[in-house]
Structure 1
Amino acid sequence: MSMDLQRGNGSRPAGCGPALAQAYWALCDTWGVVVQAVSGLGLVSCVVLMLVLLLWSRRRSGALAALLLFLLATAGVFALPYCFMISLSPQTCPVRVFAFSVVFSAAFGALLARGLALLGAALARGWKEVCVTAALALVQVIVAAEWLLVVLVQDKRTCQFSPPEFAMLQVYVMLLLAAALVLALSFLRRACVTYTYSYSYSYSGKMRRWNKLQAGLLVLTLMLSVSVWIVWITLFTYGNRAMGRSPGWDDPVISVALTANGWVLLLGHGFTQVCFMVRSDARTKDPPLDFTGWTSCRTPASAEPRTGSDNSGFQADPDGSRGQVVASSGISMSEMRAEKDYSIPRPTTTNISEPYDDYYGQRA
């Protein structure tokens, strides 16, 4: 695909005015209008979800930042069809080559990092999940930038590339997609097998259902993304040419694939994760304190102080009558010497000379 491979002999669509340049005819064509409407709705939805996260969610965690980065990448996917509906030119070529691979590497990198976090990997725990996503996207940034520098600067060529070359530029993105799918399948297997015997407590049951639902949605999102990529790469590199529709169908195929994959990412992961996060935040809100029925600790002014005793049997014996009663019963009473005043009996041994003789003062 190059700049000279454009619809030179195509007819003007019915919705295009006579003053509109041929490079923009796809914007007023039937398929272009549909793609613009659907992708525009997806772009607005991504912005709304990001605002909901920023305004509604109370926690500022790594998972929230990673989800915001994923929604930002998905918004970029919805914005890219406009670059492919405008004919290839020196202005649109760098955007097509650079932005296409970078936004998908960020989106699939976020899903890969999410899979690592769900599996409990320390590499993607907390704020490290955002770092992993950014690092994975940075690799594709370097690859795409090097390609542009070599083709446009060093070789001093116009932006020319064939469909197979454009597909080969996405090898790293496809590797991220495959790795994310493998991790999602591993998490789904763990959610279905590891928690098989977790029925003792309701909390375990809820966690098990939550893990299975999240794993299923992640696998479904990635499987649909794989299907979209297989279809557009097959049509772009072979199918359109075999049907005699190349290059007329090349840009529409990529535009439709971008829009379809954007909605798969938004509905399968973005929208559901936002709902789960907002719902979990709503459940964790502390209920207001209820002071109904509490009594005051203050003593009423009209109340008189009361006196009492803990045990009436241990009262003072001013006249010594209690001692006389005991003596009359035949029990002798004598004063205990201070040095022998022990209330706890001590254990003794068979050897009377030790080990307590020193303690009792019997040894010289």
Structure 2
Amino acid sequence: MRPLRQRKKTCGEAMGSTGPPKGCGSNIGSLFYNLCDLTTVWGVVVEAVAATGVVTSFVLFIILMACLPFVTNKKRKAMVALQAGSLVFTLGLFGLTFAFIVGRYSTGCAARRFLFGVLFAGCLSCLIMHGLWLALLQRGRGPKCWMFCLGALGLWLVEVIINTEWLITTVVRSPPGAEAIPDLSCSFDNMDFVMALIYVMVLLVAVVVIPVFTLTHKQRQWCKDGAFILVTGILTLAIWVAWIVMYLYGNQVVGNPSWDDPTLAVALVSNAWVFIFFYTIPEISFLATEDQVQEPLDDGDHVYPARSLVYDNILKEQETRPQNMYIENKAFSMDEPSGNSYS
């Protein structure tokens, strides 16, 4: 019996017998030829874009943490944990791009299959919880921040469990009597890879649907948050439709199935930049911009009226205190001569 799928030859394996390609030194292994090969430019371009994304994500994370002590809006400050989590997963997407640029080997293929869905699920889970928080904020009340963080963690762990089971069933356990495959982790069909991401697709649909309910928020500042989450979800959905169609059908129609790895690498880096430009940067700018107008409190929270009453009472006490002191002093002065007369 033939194996499900023969391992594809990488660019380095195809050129290993003729020497390193243009741009690569003789001391570079064949697995890493795509990182320096100037004849196939896609690897160098995607590598540069991904490296820029790694640096940008790290700088934005530092800025986000530096802005935290100066945030005066407690509601925005409560969502910093989700924004930081999304930024960490976005950094992981940029890093995973390099695994799709280099050649295929057992550890790299296992990392691809496991981390692709896990990292996307992490980003989308944070977006879902942020959108849900905005929707509940519109009604006036909502759970505490740590509950939304636990919700995002729970949604993310579901994908972790799914990918773990997929790796165990396809890599660790092999069918009895099946032909031995050298790199079992790299031997999988494109359809199997896409089917393992169904849960991530469900999260993606939720990211697009939930922010719609926040666009009618009474406060304009929260409408902006919902709008950016919605735009991020729509662009992510478009990228996913494009790479899935290309990954399943396009490369075979063109007659060049070796473009599967470039397709996934471009999808990773482009989607990661969408998260940066349309979610992370706007949220950091909202945090850094202090609201000039004091926002009204939620329904049921009557803090300002009570505070104003206390303040008025203090003013009244300060106004009446000098008058009372004057009356007391006058009474004392009137009583003093009578006391001397008795003496």
Superposed pair shares fold, TM > 0.5: yes
Deviation at 1:133, TM superposition (A): 1.0
- Point out where structure 2 has 5 or more consecutive residues left out of the alignment: 176-180, 295-327, 339-343
Distance in 2 between the 1:3 and 1:87 partners? Answer: 15
Counterpart of 1:64 in structure 2 is 80
The one-character-per-residue Cα deviations of 1:64-108 (angstroms, maximum 9, x if unpaired) are 111111110010011111000112211101100111110000000
Of residues 219, 237, 249, the one that matches 2:248 is: 237
Distance in 1 between the 2:229 and 2:81 partners? Answer: 18
Distance in 1 between the 2:7 and 2:79 partners? Answer: 46
Q: 1:282 to 1:250 in 2, by over 3 A?
A: farther
Does the 8 Å CA contact 1:70/1:107 hold for their aligned counterparts? yes
Distance in 2 between the 1:230 and 1:124 partners? Answer: 34
Counterpart of 1:52 in structure 2 is 63
Deviation at 1:183, TM superposition (A): 0.1
Of residues 200, 206, 211, the one that matches 1:184 is: 211
- AA aligned to 1:175 is V
Q: 1:243 to 1:48 in 2, by over 3 A?
A: same
RMSD: 3.0
Counterpart of 1:265 in structure 2 is 275
Of residues 20, 24, 45, the one that matches 1:34 is: 45
Matches within 5 A, 1:1-364: 4-7=7-10, 8-9=13-14, 13-29=21-37, 30-58=41-69, 62-120=78-136, 125-155=144-174, 158-159=184-185, 160-188=187-215, 190-191=216-217, 195=218, 207-208=219-220, 210-246=221-257, 248-280=258-290, 309=330
Percent identity, please.
29
What is the TM-score when the length of structure 2 is the normalising length?
Answer: 0.73
Deviation at 1:123, TM superposition (A): 7.2
Q: 1:169 to 1:123 in 2, by over 3 A?
A: farther
Deviation at 1:308, TM superposition (A): 7.3
Q: 1:65 to 1:308 in 2, by over 3 A?
A: closer
- AA aligned to 1:57 is L
- Point out where structure 1 has 5 or more consecutive residues left out of the alignment: 196-206, 285-306, 319-364
Does the 8 Å CA contact 1:84/1:96 hold for their aligned counterparts? yes
Does the 8 Å CA contact 2:47/2:101 hold for their aligned counterparts? no
Q: 1:316 to 1:74 in 2, by over 3 A?
A: closer
- Single out whichever of 62-71 and 130-139 deviates more from structure 2: 62-71
Deviation at 1:18, TM superposition (A): 3.5
- Single out whichever of 18-27 and 69-78 deviates more from structure 2: 18-27
Query: Larger Cα Rg: Structure 1 or Structure 2?
Result: 1
Deviation at 1:164, TM superposition (A): 1.0
- AA aligned to 1:166 is F
SS of the aligned residue for 1:215 comes to helix
- AA aligned to 1:106 is G
Q: 1:316 to 1:277 in 2, by over 3 A?
A: closer
Deviation at 1:124, TM superposition (A): 5.6
Deviation at 1:267, TM superposition (A): 0.9
Deviation at 1:115, TM superposition (A): 0.8
Please identify runs of 4+ aligned residues in structure 1 that moved more than 6 A: 281-284, 314-318
Does the 8 Å CA contact 1:35/1:256 hold for their aligned counterparts? yes
Deviation at 1:57, TM superposition (A): 0.9
Distance in 1 between the 2:201 and 2:270 partners? Answer: 17
Q: 1:107 to 1:99 in 2, by over 3 A?
A: same
Deviation at 1:3, TM superposition (A): 6.2
Distance in 1 between the 2:126 and 2:146 partners? Answer: 12
What is the TM-score when the length of structure 1 is the normalising length?
Answer: 0.69
Deviation at 1:2, TM superposition (A): 5.3
- Single out whichever of 270-279 and 136-145 deviates more from structure 2: 270-279
Does the 8 Å CA contact 1:185/1:219 hold for their aligned counterparts? yes
- AA aligned to 1:154 is R
Counterpart of 2:310 in structure 1 is none
SS of the aligned residue for 1:80 comes to helix
Higher helix share: 2
Q: 1:119 to 1:240 in 2, by over 3 A?
A: same
- Single out whichever of 42-51 and 224-233 deviates more from structure 2: 42-51
- Single out whichever of 83-92 and 18-27 deviates more from structure 2: 18-27
Does the 8 Å CA contact 1:13/1:25 hold for their aligned counterparts? yes
Does the 8 Å CA contact 2:207/2:233 hold for their aligned counterparts? yes
Count of paired positions? 278
Q: 1:283 to 1:72 in 2, by over 3 A?
A: farther
- AA aligned to 1:278 is A
Does the 8 Å CA contact 2:135/2:214 hold for their aligned counterparts? yes
